[in-house]
Structure 1
Amino acid sequence: MRVYARELYDHLPYLRRYARALTGSTERGDDLVTRCVEVAVLAPSRFGLDKGQGARLPLYALLHLLFDEPEEDGEGEADGAEGRPMASPHPIERALAALPEVERRLYLLITLEGLTLVEAAQVLHLSPVQATKRLKIARDEVRAALTQRVLVVEDNPLLAMEIGELVTDMGHVVCGTAGSEREAMELLEAERPTLALLDVRLGDGGSGVEIARHLRQKRALRTIFVTAFDGDLEELDARHLGQIVRKPFTNEAIRAAISRAVFMPTPVALA
Structure 2
Amino acid sequence: MSTADLVVQQLPYLRRYARALTGNQTAGDAYVAATLEALVNEPRIIHENDTAQVKVELFQVFTRIWNSLAVNGHSELAERGIPAEARIAQITPLPRQAFLLSCLEGFMEQDIATILALSKQEVRQLVDEAGRELAADMATEILIIEDESVIAMDLEHLVESLGHSVIGVARTRTEALKIVDQKRPGLILADIQLADGSSGLDAVNDMLKTFSVPVIFITAYPERFLTGERPEPAFLIAKPFQPVNVSAVISQALFFQQAARQKKSATA
Q: Normalising by the residue count of structure 1, what TM-score does the alignment of the two structures yield?
A: 0.46
Structure (1 or 2) with the larger CA radius of gyration? 1
Flag the structure with more relative contact order, 1 or 2, with Cα contacts below 8 A and sequence separation at least 6: 2
